Amino acid sequence: RRMRKDVRILLVGEPKVGKTSLIMSLVSEEFPKVVPYRAEEITIPADVTPEKVPTHIVDYSGTLRPFRLGLKCIELFRCHVLLNKMLCMWFRVPLILVGNKSDLVEHSSMETILPIMNRYSEIETCVECSAKNLKNISELFYYAQKAVLHPTGPLYCPERRD
Ligand code: GTP
Ligand code: MG
């Protein structure tokens, strides 16, 4: 297998799901009360990552915000999403399905998550987390790193570890 010199993790998702908060919680180890629309790109040095590979974390969706303002830009946004889906399929970019804000729900969302996982083979792992109480935050970024470095690994759901 080709040796990786670094890993790039992109956070994509619907507005307000907590992408920026997840990054800020990882970096500062506490829940940020106020977040910008988009976090600056950060690079985690190799020696503090479990797999010893420099890891870039990009708050991806925020980059599209300027395009959302105009009418024409909505079409641009749609094209962008479609293009990204195609790129993911061609290059088999591994996906981690993230259920943030687990602090707000009492029950597990696994029943919702599992059918989605079964439908998209490029989803390597799913994880429930909370930027607010820091549940599974470092784990989430570790799974993403692992999914890139060991993409054929077995499916692993932290909730079903037993
Ligand atoms: P956009 O960049 O606008 O698409 O949003 P985003 O996905 O980056 O979400 P953001 O981090 O701005 O968070 C949106 C709101 O959700 C904020 O009010 C956060 O405080 C809140 N939030 C984020 N994560 C959590 C969480 O784990 N639990 C709870 N209860 N609230 C959260
Ligand atoms: Mg954001």
Q: Tell me the CA–centroid distance for residue 96 and ligand 2, in Å.
A: 18
So what's the ipTM on this one?
0.99
* Cα 29 to middle of ligand 1, angstroms: 15
pLDDT at 86: 79
> pTM for this structure?
0.83
* Average pLDDT over the chain, rounded to an integer: 82
Between the CA of 22 and the centroid of ligand 2 the distance, in Å, is: 9
The residues, any chain, with a CB within 8 Å of residue 78's CB and separated by 6 or more, are none
Supply the DSSP symbol for 32: -
Residue 79: band (very low, low, confident or very high) from pLDDT cuts 50, 70, 90: confident
What is the predicted pLDDT for the residue at 128?
92
Q: What are phi and psi of 5, to 5 degrees?
A: -95, -20
Question: What residues does ligand 1 touch, defined as CB less than 6 Å away?
Answer: 13, 15-21, 35, 37, 61-62, 100-101, 103-104, 130-132
**144 DSSP assignment:** H
